[in-house]
Chains A and B, each alone.
Chain A
Amino acid sequence: MMHPHTPGASRSTRRRIVGALTSATVLGLALAGCATGEGPSDEAASKRVTLVVHDSFPNDAFAEAASAATGYEVEVVSAGDGGELTNKLVLTKGAPIADAFFGVDTIFASRLVDNDVVEPYRPEAFPESAVDLAIADTDSDTTDAFSLTPVDRGATCFNIDTAWFAEQGLAEPTGFEDLADPAYRDLTVILDPTASSTGASLLVGTVAAFGEDGFADYWQRLVDNGARIEQGWTEAYNGQFTQGGGDGTKPIVLSYSSSPAFTVSDDGAATSTRALLDTCSSQVEYAGVLAGAANPEGARAVVDYLVSREFQETIPDTMYMYPVDAEAQIPEAWSTFAPLPDPGAAHDLPAAEIEAGREGWLRTLSEQIGL
């Protein structure tokens, strides 16, 4: 049974509750106030430009440097990883969440173009060395406009733990075929192409290498040879790889050609991993002006800045990719330990072909090996 309360006690409880309610309301109002305070006023709007990016982008540093360089007030918002960013841009077509975007890669590039999300543009001082990487605009009359402007590049390649192979007295694998060889049984970690863009890159690479009729057979051989399939790069590299910083036991992992630059010894003289440059497929990350942007002028200025020498040279250190501008300086560890594969050696497909084939390839894999 309940004991009668003393009036004093209940009043103090009430005070506490009322107090909590009041402070909550104040907090809520304060937060709402902050947010609306940050909203664009009409006079300032023409000087303000918004760039939407994927997760691994140096937002603050970029906003500061780009504002200084372009004279616009640059604001940066994050919208998830490459795939998520792409789909958000497609879903908000016509009323874009920003003026310009950066961070859509080879795998999703055509989806943006096909859905008419981008406004063709070619930056004024675009580095000649990168023209081949651009996705040309095929619709408009001006032949030199890009649908998507390339900003940085990298390559998805298998990485190996060199010391592990030396210790075991096993020859280091070199190409796709070795990974399916019983000599390298149970040593490899790959990524699920339906869950990770790195895994999707491998899918593209194997389609380029083995053809639309042969890639699924290769995946089957990989899996039969004990390849472990992880959902994301973190679980694969940091969780399973022997050099990944944890207790991993697998000496071969799907990662990037730049990864060996991050396993360099303290004195900078050697690295403990190596990328297998015969297993790579290229990734290019693109930027562009969004169709229907509130500030298209500013958006163009931001894209200009993304391909400027000043920004290009910060790319290795901030985004762990290579600049598209061949003249831009890259860190020494990169040129020594993490070279890009030769253009001829990478297993690549045109973006349009990837968009057209991807779903079918995934379905084939799903039917064949249950992915």
Chain B
Amino acid sequence: MLSLVATGFVADGRFDPSGIPEVFGQDRTWRVIGQTVLQAGCATVLSVLLGLPAAYVLYRLEFPGRALLRGFLTIPFVLPTVVVGVAFSALLGVGGPLEGLGLDRSFVGVVAALAFFNVTVVARTVGGFWARLDDRSVMAARVLGAGAIRAWCSVTLPALRPAIASAGALVFLFSSTSFGVVLILGGREFANVETEIYRLTVQFLDLRGAAVLSLAQFAIVGAALAVSARLRASGERAVELGAEPRREQRPGLRDLPVCLVFGATVLLLHALPIAALLARSLRTSDGAWTLEHYAALVDDASTLPIEGSVPAAIWLSLRIAAVAAALAMILGMIIALVLSRRPRSRVLQRGMHLFDGLVMLPLGVSAVTLGFGLLLTMHRPLGIGIDLRTSIVLIPIAQALVALPLVVRTLLPVLRGIDQRLRIAASSLGADPLTVLRTIDLPMLGRSAGLALGFAFAVSLGEFGATSFLVRPGEQTLPVVVAELIGHQAPGSYGAGLAGAVLLGALAAGVMLLADRLRTDQRGEF
């Protein structure tokens, strides 16, 4: 990545920073940067506003079908962006059921599509934490006469603050670096830095402009991280985490407003585009209902314009995602454990903050930059005699990098929520640091680990940007196959692609359902 940026600044073998003032001197650059910040900001606010009710309903209330609903909400997050783009333009565009809203090719459309992906992120990161929040402080507040809303604002909200700040930072980073959706739904008018880098690199081979924009993207990501770190740090303290499986309430009358918001979110923002996608995958061009697109996926693959077969692509995707998820988990756990420490020395604290930011950086690196950068550097890297550029090993590594920040952000609030006194008490009773780790941190981590693993797996399964930019031998992952099918003019190819997208969504949702189950089982042990 660095070398690609460097290539952009070197002219005739000399360092040449003249691109910086030149690119920043253009109006378009500033318009694109403004769009990026505005889109990501609005998407973050919307996702948090809609994600909190979702977190409450999905993680604090007990009702039949809750696990299924949680799984369903994961689908958006892993759908290939091309598919989401097509689903949204089918919904909002000419001839779509929501055409009357006039949201086609609009700022609101882009923000809605970004929220479509990210409400889940908020619901899951905040919900996982909220579920284990001890209720006694709230009860105390209520006993002392605070109303439900007041108690929520003065007790629950502050306790949730680190988790919300975490989730918000993630959403902002995802949104400001979003590629496929912004490219399709935004067009040139609502382009962001990421799609602009893509255009400059892929269409114009303007490495100088792309490098300068990469720096701008870094600056945006860095600023977002700084803000979220500040928000987190000021709100971070040990909160009482319920250790026993808390008995969730059945939804009551007082939950009605929250449930209504949640219901509207799920129906309008999530179910509608997914239903549009599902319906199209089940219909012929004449409008008759059919299963032929699904049959085409398993039938003789030679009728479809892709390499190999769809089942082979699914199998490869699963294997790669397993490796990527494992990599992300190992790294993520180690990083989260390190980051959860609170060193006394100022220097160490500074270092910790820096490291925290570094971990999140993969989110700020554009997939194009990453893909092209790997091409430049992976030719017999570090004296290894293999050309890694066409090696399939790069794919899980790239995917693990993409999933890593999610894993860390899922695990970290839990670890930081552990009362430091617990560790001190254990130490003073003679436990060595390893024992403390084993008896306190790891068991607490174990509960969120299932969730983080599921997240990492599902994200790797659906990862498209980085994977599609890597040069790869014969085999294709499922999202790449789906994108290729959808973009091909062979008869039946588009339908098969939509069917493949539905399959991908179902697969990822299934993984998340399993991860949730895993977590529930573990809870009983503590």
Residues of chain A at the chain B interface (Cβ within 8 Å):
1-3, 5, 9-10, 12-14, 16-17, 20-21, 23-25, 27-28, 31-32, 34-36, 38-39, 50, 52, 55-56, 58-61, 63, 75-80, 83-84, 86-88, 90-92, 95, 97-98, 111, 192, 194-195, 200, 228-235, 237-240, 243-250, 255-256, 258-259, 262, 318, 320, 359, 366, 370-371
In whole angstroms, how far apart are the Cα atoms of A91 and B7 in the complex?
10
Question: A250 to B94, Cβ gap below 8 A?
Answer: yes
Q: Can you name 19 extra interface pairs (CB under 8 A) apart from A247-B280, A258-B489? A: A2-B419, A10-B442, A16-B446, A25-B326, A28-B327, A31-B392, A55-B484, A56-B488, A77-B474, A78-B471, A83-B203, A87-B372, A91-B375, A92-B379, A228-B94, A231-B184, A232-B487, A247-B90, A248-B94
If the complex has contacts A97-B390, A371-B188, are A234 and B94 also in contact, measured as CB distance less than 8 A?
no
> Given B183, B202, B305, B495, which contacts A84 in the complex, CB threshold below 8 Å?
B202
> Given B330, B372, B439, B446, which contacts A24 in the complex, CB threshold below 8 Å?
B330
Residues in A whose Cβ lies below 8 Å from that of B82:
234
Chain B nearest CB: distance from A62 CB in Å? 9
Q: Assess whether B490 is interfacial by the CB under 8 Å rule.
A: yes
Residues in A whose Cβ lies below 8 Å from that of B85:
235
In whole angstroms, how far apart are the Cα atoms of A35 and B396 in the complex?
12
If the complex has contacts A10-B442, A192-B188, are A262 and B392 also in contact, measured as CB distance less than 8 A?
no
Question: A247 to B244, Cβ gap below 8 A?
Answer: no
Q: Assess whether B391 is interfacial by the CB under 8 Å rule.
A: yes
If the complex has contacts A9-B525, A97-B390, A238-B494, are A370 and B188 also in contact, measured as CB distance less than 8 A?
yes
Chain B nearest CB: distance from A61 CB in Å? 8
In whole angstroms, how far apart are the Cα atoms of A196 and B386 in the complex?
34
In whole angstroms, how far apart are the Cα atoms of A368 and B254 in the complex?
57
In whole angstroms, how far apart are the Cα atoms of A63 and B526 in the complex?
56
Q: Assess whether B285 is interfacial by the CB under 8 Å rule.
A: yes
In whole angstroms, how far apart are the Cα atoms of A262 and B303 in the complex?
13
Residues in A whose Cβ lies below 8 Å from that of B443:
5, 9-10, 13
Residues in B whose Cβ lies below 8 Å from that of A95:
379
Residues of chain B at the chain A interface (Cβ within 8 Å):
7, 28, 82, 85-86, 89-90, 93-96, 183-184, 187-189, 199, 201-205, 240-241, 243-244, 280, 285, 302, 305, 307-308, 319-320, 322-323, 326-327, 329-330, 372, 375-376, 379, 386-387, 389-393, 396, 419, 422, 438-439, 442-443, 446, 449, 453, 468-469, 471-474, 476, 484, 486-491, 494-495, 522, 525-526
In whole angstroms, how far apart are the Cα atoms of A245 and B372 in the complex?
35
Which A-B residue pairs are the 9 nearest by beta carbons? A24-B326, A245-B285, A59-B307, A9-B525, A249-B95, A234-B487, A13-B446, A247-B95, A79-B471
Chain B nearest CB: distance from A113 CB in Å? 14
Chain A nearest CB: distance from B291 CB in Å? 16
